[in-house]
Structure 1
């Protein structure tokens, strides 16, 4: 999983510039002064303040506190005392009192830049970010060379989402103090958020160059390398952070995430459990553990970990979203679809294809004549799967507008889903009614295996295109098996293991008189050039490879005898058409497919072949090959 907001805050806390123990230069104190604080006599202002400064400079904070308080109780005023006392109070966790004391110092000496700087630190600590910005800016106005003020200002601007301003501020800090490892680390974090990952890497490496033992810098470098998909180097960097700080819970947590991406799930589990051992209150660690356990197929343990996350942090959107995936896999659709709404607030939140100006509704009212804009979201397969509800809602009397990916528009029109589908840009211009994300319809319609709502085929091509491809494919040897083996490269990061190397399909040609037809487009299609059974594909394959239009691909599918696919949009397209589909699934698939059934209520014409062992596609293909030999319905039905 991506790092959570809370973890980011922890890192920012670590990398903030430090304040001085005593924020002003103490004059040399040659005399050994001792004051009895409970005496009836009143020591002089100078003796009290000198003794307070002496204890403070020696690190004897408890004694320093006594003298600072005695000084104040005597009614004396000195801006240095109130400023210094404010730092101590803040370090003791008495933030409100620290603020009062520091503001008093500023009242006594408005030109004290460091007092404004210290106030900024206090205000940030109590969440008054806007006020902290004002304090840091005042400190900089009074002393433009105060590098730490620029650096800390950058951190707050980052928290406020003002990343470009934050970059300017931290670069000024570096200009003033080029050897400040903290500032270079802070710049790396800001650049990472700006998605300037290579620059972020350079800045973080500079922090490490300045301070090779900077555990936090090694940790952040590992996080950046993870985002760059340089996973082995990310692992090395994060392990270095742990070597430097063996009790660094956040480093074990990040290492667990990297190991998960490397598909080392057992090691990922161990590392994440270590993070929890070091910091049982680290909500993200429980959440990540739940995610790892889900991928390991330990769903009950995963649910326990996720619920622990929610107990620790009741607004943890990632945890609720992960809980929804577990519930849906278990076919608990009521709660699962409710929690699936957290996809819009989790890290890496789902973004609808278009941002309407209309009010978003929480629930469909199903009142006749209501105007409702439905906006697609996520991948093409999601749109193909859930657009079935558009005609259903229209038949209930609602006035529906449908915004979807442009490349699906011709298919949507031919299928009579919507005769005038909107582009994402056009959806922003709709001025009447309300709107709802497409994948929220299943929740509102209370879809479940017992209540599928729509089971009949709802996607089709045109008669003209069907005839065209019937004529072209009539020259081919039957039966024709359309295959698709590779998912979208971007989705592979979050749905690792769903794709199948094309060569794995070679077993299907043994003992089966079949002809393959590749439905693969883009990434992965290059495997066709080097596969060992290239001669088993239809002669018109080059023409098919040049066909990217979904409407025409639907006509090609219509003229195949069987579709065999991994979990991609092609499976949803064929399933929505009512074509015979054999879907090949990894051991823990996407929530749509559940965990056990060989069929699915989503597509009655689909049969599911599941991995019995993680990564073992050979065994799956053996079963598919046997099924092909006994598949009596695969006949030349299109001649």
Structure 2
């Protein structure tokens, strides 16, 4: 047998193997490849294809040896080179894979596929700039640019360059207009850029081309949920879960949708289905714990939070959730240190990231050091209610020997906070630039940790907020005399730009019409304390005869609201900043609390250790405000019947007391 005949026979065996491989006849293909290699041990293509076959059934060591043998026979063989690089990368040997690609590139026999795979490898280990350069070079080497454009768009998106990433996807679509993958990726990217109409169009086009895409259905569901089309979102997620019963994201997203809508039984079922798919899913465990917390099963919730932290000890949202669970249980000593996780750097915060950044201030962050003869700057965080609640600590901080206490707060609170005993300087947050150097700074809500606050020693002395005599005089004539003057607040700030805050507001807020049973209570004059572009006008939807007095169009700051509150006997409000303001002034407050109430109101109490004049009316069923309003109506009727008319009028018109009108003296 001649050499030429032997080579030809090896080639015939190889071609037979290719045909059988393509038909899925794996055993026959393997035998043909092995025969070709037996006849010609240097047959690079047969070595490569046998490597592909063995890698496909998990024999990676043998596959690697075959790829290397193919390259030994033909060092410029691109298929074997790229297959070896992919195998090494998939095996976690990124450095070895990178060396293979670098060798090909350095010796100038790399093709566009090699540069593309090298770029993807570099991206996978976080070398995004180098990955971008490799992918861009791949585009200059000919061949089909479509897959490289997809990969380059992903790298650009990870570099926070969404507009450029979108342009690459448009270029990919110019080459393959019917690509469901490119449409889906572009839709998801445009959604992240808040170009929602365009995003929806591309997601729908992707599903028109290929309807059975669970991941794309989940992306479209996310868009629907973010634009308030909850029924459409639910339908998309059910379709995704039906197409792929083991699709973790579909079940997890359904759980999130139900949790946001306070459909707790359905949320729990969805998260448990997700955990049946992946018992170690930290997202599903964390969110199941949130459901358990919301349904007053705090022990089970804590067990799940701790399970998450066993898997991922640094997972910030779970640390924060666990801290709030412990705060709700009154376990302040354990909770406050963990509550500091709200400012840990994390990628989990999503649309609230801007709220979770520590400021750059000319001071050292206070960690409990002695404050005697030092200066401290207190920095605000979160909402108005949080600032109002924790302003109680300002006099206590000053009592630690501070020579200078500077408070920064939103402008609407300045005229109120500058009256608090111990505050030397109060600056509006909006103008807080070029601040003078201080020894220390501290977040408002970190003060309880540094002050060692426990449930037993909550500083609950009220009033610690007061209205000025001048403002009281301005507003006192505006509120008519009545046996019982009652302030009303029915809604919070919707904050639609922050998904989680908006969802919470939807559970805590009512429409003004929900208060109609109260508004007919004999002997009561109602005064609106409601602000908000969408909520204040709801007064006009009430029958004219029972509309509360509305002065809030003239209110410029919380100091004005405080002055109006001095003229009232009782404030009835949902969980908003006015509840904190009125209670901090020592006024009786009846607060309507949603079923999954805020941690600060603790569990199963109708009073508050933070505010001695507050009474809580909690939902007994999720979303059921009618039952709550019924209890409030009964209590209000009893209060109105018990209040002697003359005593109420005399109390009303005594004028401000020293404690109600005065604060610290100003020179």
TM-score range, shorter chain: 0.7 to 0.9
Question: In structure 2, the residue corresponding to 1:595 is in which secondary structure?
Answer: coil
- Aligned pairs (5 A) from 1:141-290: 141-143=140-142, 146-290=145-289
Q: 1:359 to 1:146 in 2, by over 3 A?
A: farther
SS for the counterpart of 2:507 is coil
Residue-by-residue CA offset, 1:511-561 (whole Å, 9 max, x unaligned): 6421111111223223322335x42456xx244443343211111100111
| CA deviation profile, 1:475-509 (whole Å, cap 9, x unmatched) | 43221111111111124412442223433433335
Distance in 1, matches of 2:33 and 2:325, equals 67
Kept after mapping to 2: 8 A contact 1:352/1:437: no
Give unpaired runs (5+ residues) of structure 1: 1-25
Partner of 1:529: 540
Give the deviation of 1:409 after TM superposition.
1.7
- The answer to whether the 8 Å contact 2:410/2:430 transfers is no
Q: What is the CA RMSD across the aligned residues, in angstroms?
A: 3.0
In the other structure, the counterpart of 1:592 is: 600
Checking the alignment, whether the CA contact within 8 Å between 2:494 and 2:502 is kept in structure 1 is: yes
Conserved? CA contact 2:518–2:633, under 8 Å: yes
Judge conservation of contact 2:490–2:511 (CA < 8 Å) in 1.
yes
Which of residues 369, 373, 377 in structure 1 aligns to 2:377?
373
Q: Which moved more, 1:171-180 or 1:480-489?
A: 171-180
1:49 Cα offset (Å)? 0.5
Alpha-carbon distance change, 255 to 205 in structure 1, aligned in 2, over 3 angstroms: same
Q: Which protein has the bigger helix share? A: 2
Task: Give the whole-Å Cα distance in 2 for the aligned partners of 1:97 and 1:349.
Answer: 37
Correspondence for 1:412: 417
The whole-number CA distance in structure 2 between the counterparts of 1:621 and 1:216 is 43
**Deviation at 1:459?**
1.1
Equivalent residue for 2:336?
Answer: 337
CA gap 1:295/1:198 in 2 versus in 1, 3 angstroms: farther
Task: Measure, in 2, the Cα distance between the counterparts of 1:567 and 1:363.
Answer: 31
Question: Equivalent residue for 1:77?
Answer: 75
CA positional deviation for 1:415: 4.3
Q: Does 1:385 align with 2:389?
A: yes
CA distance in 2, matches of 1:396, 1:65: 69
1:91 to partner: Cα distance: 4.4
The yes-or-no answer on 1:638 pairing with 2:644 is no
| Residue 566 of structure 1: aligned partner | 574
- Provide the C-alpha distance between the structure 1 equivalents of 2:356 and 2:258, rounded to a whole number of angstroms: 31
Aligned-residue offset at 1:35 = 4.8
Q: Which moved more, 1:493-502 or 1:110-119?
A: 493-502
Distance 1:141 1:438 in 2: 56
User: Equivalents in 2 of 1:34, 1:448: separation in Å?
Assistant: 75
Equivalent residue in structure 2 for 1:472, among 464, 467, 478: 478
Rounded Cα–Cα distance in structure 2 between residues aligned with 1:354 and 1:517: 39
Partner in structure 2 of residue 293 of structure 1: 292
Q: Distance in 2 between matches of 1:211 and 1:383?
A: 51
Which residue of 2 is the match for residue 439 of structure 1? Answer: 445
Equivalent residue number for residue 132 of structure 1: 131
Tell me the distance in 1 between the aligned counterparts of 2:255 and 2:486. 41
String of CA shifts for 1:433-462, please: whole Å, max 9, x gaps: 343222111222122321223523111111
Which whole-Å CA distance do the structure 2 matches of 1:400 and 1:340 have between them? 24
- In the other structure, the counterpart of 1:575 is 583
Tell me how far apart the structure 1 counterparts of residues 77 and 414 of structure 2 sit (CA, whole Å). Answer: 70
Of 576-585 and 388-397, the range deviating more from structure 2: 388-397
Of 458-467 and 493-502, the range deviating more from structure 2: 493-502
The residue matched to 1:622 in structure 2 has which SS? helix
- Partners in 2 of 1:591 and 1:456 — Cα distance? 21
Aligned to 1:489: 494
SS of alignment partner, residue 426 of structure 2: coil
Secondary structure of the equivalent of 1:109? coil
CA distance in 2, matches of 1:168, 1:38: 47
Q: 1:110 to 1:149 in 2, by over 3 A?
A: same
More divergent stretch after superposition (158-167 vs 319-328):
158-167
8 Å contact kept, 1:87–1:118: yes
Size of the aligned set, in residue pairs, is 605
Structure 1 counterpart SS, 2:442: strand
Q: Distance in 2 between matches of 1:298 and 1:486?
A: 27
| Gapped regions of structure 2 (runs ≥ 5) | 1-10, 18-31, 496-500, 654-667
- Return closer, same or farther for 1:170/1:435 CA change in 2, 3 Å cut-off: farther
Report SS of the residue matched to 1:184: helix
TM (norm. structure 1) is 0.86
User: Residue deviations 1:304-327, cap 9 Å, x none?
Assistant: 221121122222111111111211
In 2, the alpha carbon distance for the partners of 1:60 and 1:567 equals 60
SS at match of 1:247: coil
Q: 1:200 to 1:275 in 2, by over 3 A?
A: same
Contact kept? 1:356, 1:427, Cα under 8 Å: no
Task: Tell whether the 8 Å contact from 1:111 to 1:142 is kept in structure 2 after alignment.
Answer: no
Aligned residues of 1:498 and 1:586 also touching (Cα < 8 A): yes
- Deviation of 1:380 after TM superposition, in Å, equals 1.2
Larger radius of gyration between Structure 1 and Structure 2: 2
Work out the CA distance in 1 between the residues paired with 2:216 and 2:237: 9
1:101 and 2:100 are equivalent in the alignment: yes
Partner of 2:427: 422
2-side partners of 1:555 and 1:371: how far apart? 31
In the aligned structure 2, how far is the partner of 1:90 from the partner of 1:354? 38
| CA 585–50 in structure 1, closer or farther in 2 if over 3 Å, else same | closer
Deviations 1:77-106 (A, max 9, x none): 234232232234444555444333333333
